[in-house]
Structure 1
Amino acid sequence: MELSLIGLQNAGKTSLVNVVAILADAFAPFSSFCPQTGGYSEDMIPTVGFNMRKVTKGNVTIKLWDLGGQPRFRSIYVVDAADHENIWISRGELHDLLSKPSLSGIPLLVLGNKIDKPEALTKQDLTEAMGLRTISDREVCCFMISCKNSTNIDSVIDWLVKHSKSKS
């Protein structure tokens, strides 16, 4: 299974890739991003181009492509749930992406990141703000996560593994 992690800059895509890799015990920490832990870092450097990590859980191998947040790379979806100013931009980008024929019917996983921040939206508010209930041509799932605290990352991995089996 190959997945593209897409979202606005600073949504937490690189942090998610690193935390998933650590929790899945796939590889050693990604030292170029966070030398101490390989996972979450407050001082994460924005991705230029892309990063790729392989994550293995059981007999499922997932390639996570972290595409930079620049508009030319945006094309599947991590949202900064605490960034109220940019939520509408993120909604527009997501719905533009979903209108592409090549992505028709592909299940959608939306991750509301940074729930460790007090100003983060609730799952219900994020679902509303992102217009997820209006999407009817595919399965839509939303998890609220924190890469910083590894909150709900196991649920994300389980969802990915489940969908790798059903779409093989």
Structure 2
Amino acid sequence: MSGWWQSLAEWLKSLFFNKEMELSLIGLQNAGKTSLVNVLATGNTTDTIPTVGFNMRKVTKGGVTMRVWDLGGQTRFRSMWERYCRGVQAIVYVVDSADLDSLDAAKEELHALLSKPSLAGIPLLVLGNKNDLPEALSANELITRLDLKAITDRETAVYSMSCRTQANLDVVIKWLSARSK
């Protein structure tokens, strides 16, 4: 019976205290951005095709409705990132933590983006996706390789995760929910 009361209380709370947030999901191509959106929205991973330009999707998790801008990671779309990151509650930077050859480019693109004055102070969540692969870097290794300690003008968090196995997805949702309005 107590589970029923808890469910009822959560439902009533969601009626009156629903929070919203807008976030931009960026990173190089094939990092797993669209897969992350799909897992958040449906709980399932499906085969995805590369995002061309951008997609917007609303996802509701635990009383928080997130408006997620999923931005293409190909070189020709990276100039759009700043425009879609202005005014969001969080920038989520997804990195393929098993693609060691792309880390230098990921570092350069991230630091170039964060140098834009219009993005000052926006919290940053760096997700090292694909931690289920044997060559994947840990969160601490990503901090070093992406020079994240140099980012001092905003709140920054780093998590190792996997869209495929949904490892650490709960931590990601909790971090995002804490930044909603």
Counterpart amino acid of residue 68 in structure 1: G
Q: One-letter code of the match for 2:108?
A: G
Q: Classify the secondary structure of the residue corresponding to 2:112.
A: helix
Q: Which moved more, 1:94-103 or 1:47-56?
A: 47-56
Show CA shifts across 1:13-32 (max 9, x none): 00000001124xxxxxxxxx
SS of 1:48 mapped into structure 2: coil
User: Deviation string for 1:55-95 (max 9, x for gaps)?
Assistant: 11243210111111123433240000000001000000000
Equivalent-residue separation in structure 1 for 2:77 and 2:156 (angstroms): 22
Alignment partner, residue 45 of structure 2? 40
How many residue pairs get matched?
Answer: 149
Give unmatched runs, 5+ long, in structure 2.
1-20, 82-90
Q: How far apart are residue 117 of structure 1 and its match?
A: 0.3
The one-letter amino acid paired with 1:152 is N
Is structure 2 residue 127 aligned with structure 1 residue 123? no
Instruction: Report the structure, 1 or 2, having the larger helix content.
Output: 2
Does 2:74 match 1:52? Answer: no
Distance between the aligned counterparts of 2:52 and 2:72, measured in 1? 6
1:153-168 equivalence runs, <5 A: 153-164=169-180, 168=181
Amino acid at match of 1:3: L
Which structure's CA Rg is the greater one? 2
Alignment-mate amino acid for residue 45 of structure 2:
Y
> Which runs of 5 or more structure 1 residues have no equivalent in the other structure?
24-38
Shift in Å at residue 122 of structure 1?
1.2
Letter in 2 for 1:147: C
Q: Sequence identity, in percent? A: 62
With structure 1 as the length reference, what TM-score do the two structures score?
Answer: 0.84
1:114 lines up with 2:130 in the alignment? yes
Aligned residue among 62, 66, 73 for 1:62? 66
Is 1:21 aligned to 2:41, yes or no?
yes
Q: TM-score, normalised by structure 2?
A: 0.78
Task: Please report how far the alpha carbon of residue 2 of structure 1 lies from its aligned counterpart in structure 2 after TM superposition.
Answer: 1.2
| AA matched with 2:59 | V
Aligned pair partner of 2:29 in 1, 4, 9: 9
SS at match of 1:156: helix
